[in-house]
Amino acid sequence: MRFRLILFIILSAAIMLAYQYYFMPKLPPVKKKGEISQALPAQKKGAIVEESKETEIPKPPILPSKIKEVDREKIEQKIKSLAAEQDRKIEVDTELLKFVFSEKGAYIEKIFLKKFKKDDEPITLFEDSYYGALFLASENGSNALPFIFEGPSKISLGKSESRELIFKSVTEDGIEVEKRFKIDGSHYTVEMLLGLRNDSESQINISEQILLGPHFFLLGEEGNNRYRGHVGPVIESQGKVIREKIEKLKEAKVFSNNIRWTGLESKYFLASIKLPEKNFSAGFFPEGKDKVTVSIQSVIKNLKPLESIKTKYSFYFGPKYYSLLEKNELGNAVDFGWFGFLGKPLLIALNWIYSYIGNYGLSIIIITIILKIIFIPLTQKSFTSMQKMKEIQPQIKAIRDKYKKDPKKMNEETMALYKEYGVNPMGGCLPMIFQIPVFIAFYNVLLNSVELRGAPFIWWITDLSQKDPYYITPILMGITMLIQQRMTPSAGDPRQAQIMMIMPVVFTFMFMSFPVGLVIYWTVNNILTIGQQYFLMPKQSDSQEEEVEGKSKKKKKRRKGRENKK
């Protein structure tokens, strides 16, 4: 087993080095000592899609750098030995995450989400990647440095514990590099403090570049169905969130205007980095099927002899809990759709109810009841209008028969009839239109909330984010919808009635692939509507019939009075 592991590591390293050497573009050569060449490398046809006027971000190679002979014997000896040694891994275990760091690049190679399972195993957020890998573009090109870490290979952190991992290296230009990763046992965030010190005798111009990718836990979790949500790179630029589907990203894309954060996301999970300054660019670089690297790069910084600079980077690796993301200024990573201003309070309310009862299925039912109560006046108005329309259908039919050869007169008489009985032909629809944004917002909340992932309800429903395995709830939803359609007053149009009766069948088949949390919401809403119609519609019907009959009698009396006078 150990031999296979060593062989696997050697082969993986060889393949990675060969790929990086032959396929990854290199940074442009420097024209003068101490200056960075701003000329871009020769571009392949279709290689870059411009998103700004700023300098495009070249994709760096992942290659070990030669280290200049300097007065740091310990670092020098350790770095020299890395070429001959097996790459040392540093494992950090917390309550929420498990990290695997690579000493050769001082980056995060693997992350496991311990609280989220797939096939009874912790989800691998990513593996064989270089998250947080640093590249320094100076007069000697791009350096992916080997580092030393003076600490144990295995570190365990409790919920209230934190640890700082310090990696050190030095470039052949004489720049001392230090990367400090701060990990908290109870957080999904990782802070990285990058320190650079120029120990040479001349000024060095340098640019920092940090990578995220290319492997990410994308298609494996959400699958290939249409409800998996967005999968791919994401960026917040100029106050807008821009998403690129990984399967549609064929060319590199570069952004440079007011970038707050960028990263890789799936429906429920996010790996992101917040940009420390405004003068950073970011880019998406496709690397084959289901693989993409996100890169951020600073402007050129001038380091004078013995001058030091420090830059703080903030990473987030975890579920897309809105409350956690909002605290880390990443709230826009949760896609609430067009009606996000309604979706956010609905999610907050859903979580608040859950905090008291501990069951998201019951929480969905309770919030559906609350929404139904809030909209009772509008629903009631809609029912009233539809019932009035039903009651005056005989008069409308009589007008149509009488003036079928005179459309203008037919329309005038129909509008006069509406006015006489106080009927608005759109009255049944308008109240419902005001409810649609709330329904859509709650729909998006239930469809995209990681809170429902793995959340059980009752008996056979063990995951509210998945479809009903036995299709019981979709069938129940279809039955309730059919009952509701039969109880709803119709306008008397036979064709419309036929269409409305087909809708329950269509919705039943459609909801069979929906997450069961959504189906519960729709079913409960139907049941509440049925109850409202059953208890309130008869009273309305009686009163409205009396009103219509009274007005009809008055109208007949007026007609008889006119005839008698004649």
91-119 CB burial, b ≥16 within 10 A, e <16: ebbbebbbbebbbbbbbbbbbbbeebeee
Do 317 and 347 fall within a single domain?
no
What are the CA-CA distances from residue 185 to residues 48, 141, 182, 262 (Å)? 40, 37, 10, 24
18 assigned to some structural domain: no
pLDDT at 227: 60
**Residues contacting 526, CB < 8 A, separation 6+:** 477, 480, 481, 483, 484
* Each residue's pLDDT tens digit, 408-457: 888 888 888 877 777 776 666 666 677 788 888 888 888 888 998 888 99
Chain Cα centroid distance, residue 135: 29
* Each residue's pLDDT tens digit, 37-96: 222 233 333 333 333 334 444 444 333 333 344 444 555 555 555 544 557 889 999 999
Distance CA(480)–CA(68), nearest Å, equals 76
* Each residue's pLDDT tens digit, 339-351: 888 999 999 999 9
Judged against a pLDDT cut of 70, whether residue 407 lies above it is answered with: yes
User: Domain containing 396: what range?
Assistant: 341-565
User: In this predicted model, which residue has the larger pLDDT, 432 or 233?
Assistant: 233
326 assigned to some structural domain: yes
For the chain, give the percent of residues with pLDDT over 90. Answer: 27
21 assigned to some structural domain: no
11 assigned to some structural domain: no
Least Cα distance to 134 among 196, 77, 53, 200 occurs for 196
pLDDT at 299: 86
Do 304 and 421 fall within a single domain?
no
User: In this predicted model, which residue has the larger pLDDT, 139 or 533?
Assistant: 533
At 353, the pLDDT band (50, 70, 90 cuts) reads very high
User: Average per-residue pLDDT in the chain?
Assistant: 76
Longest dimension (CA), the chain: 123
Do 291 and 440 fall within a single domain?
no
14 assigned to some structural domain: no
153 assigned to some structural domain: yes
Here the CATH number for the domain that contains residue 108 is 2.70.98.90
Strands 48-49 and 252-255: parallel
Three-class SS of residue 19? helix
Do 322 and 376 fall within a single domain?
no
As a whole number, mean pLDDT of residues 391-403 equals 80
As a whole number, mean pLDDT of residues 173-186 equals 90
Least Cα distance to 253 among 487, 473, 54, 17 occurs for 54
Do 284 and 253 fall within a single domain?
yes
312 assigned to some structural domain: yes
Do 359 and 331 fall within a single domain?
no
Do 386 and 534 fall within a single domain?
yes
> Which residue pairs from 46-51 have beta carbons closer than 8 angstroms and sit at least 24 positions apart in sequence?
46/250, 46/251, 47/251, 47/252, 48/251, 48/252, 48/253, 48/254, 49/251, 49/252, 49/253, 49/254, 50/254, 51/253, 51/254, 51/255, 51/256
Do 257 and 379 fall within a single domain?
no
E strands in 306-403: 308-319
- Domain's final residue, options 335, 365, 391: 335
Do 328 and 358 fall within a single domain?
no
- Domain's final residue, options 286, 320, 335: 335
As a whole number, mean pLDDT of residues 254-263 equals 89
Across 63-72, 486-495, 510-519, least confident range = 63-72
pLDDT at 538: 55
As a whole number, mean pLDDT of residues 546-562 equals 51
Count the domains in the chain.
2
Q: Which of 65-79, 282-296, 382-396, 551-565 has the highest mean pLDDT?
A: 282-296
* Each residue's pLDDT tens digit, 291-308: 888 999 888 888 899 999
Question: Omega of the bond prior to 276 within 30 degrees of 0, cis?
Answer: no
Across 226-230, 241-245, 316-320, 420-424, least confident range = 226-230
Judged against a pLDDT cut of 60, whether residue 14 lies above it is answered with: no
Residue found under tokens 């790069």: 297
What pTM was estimated for this model as a whole?
Answer: 0.74
User: In this predicted model, which residue has the larger pLDDT, 221 or 199?
Assistant: 199
What are the CA-CA distances from residue 9 to residues 6, 15, 19, 128, 335 (Å)? 5, 10, 15, 11, 39
* Each residue's pLDDT tens digit, 460-489: 999 898 889 999 999 999 999 888 877 765
Quote the Cα angle for 69-70-71, to 5°. Answer: 140
Phi-psi region of 471 (alpha: psi -120 to 50; beta: other; left: phi over 0): left
12 assigned to some structural domain: no
- Domain's final residue, options 290, 320, 335: 335
As a whole number, mean pLDDT of residues 371-389 equals 79
The enclosing H or E element of 406 equals: none
Judged against a pLDDT cut of 50, whether residue 180 lies above it is answered with: yes
Three-class SS of residue 446? helix
Question: Is residue 152 within 8 Å of 93, Cβ to Cβ?
Answer: no
Do 314 and 192 fall within a single domain?
yes
At 552, the pLDDT band (50, 70, 90 cuts) reads low
User: In this predicted model, which residue has the larger pLDDT, 180 or 146?
Assistant: 180
Do 499 and 559 fall within a single domain?
yes
Q: Which of 129-143, 348-362, 446-460 has the highest mean pLDDT?
A: 348-362
Do 297 and 348 fall within a single domain?
no
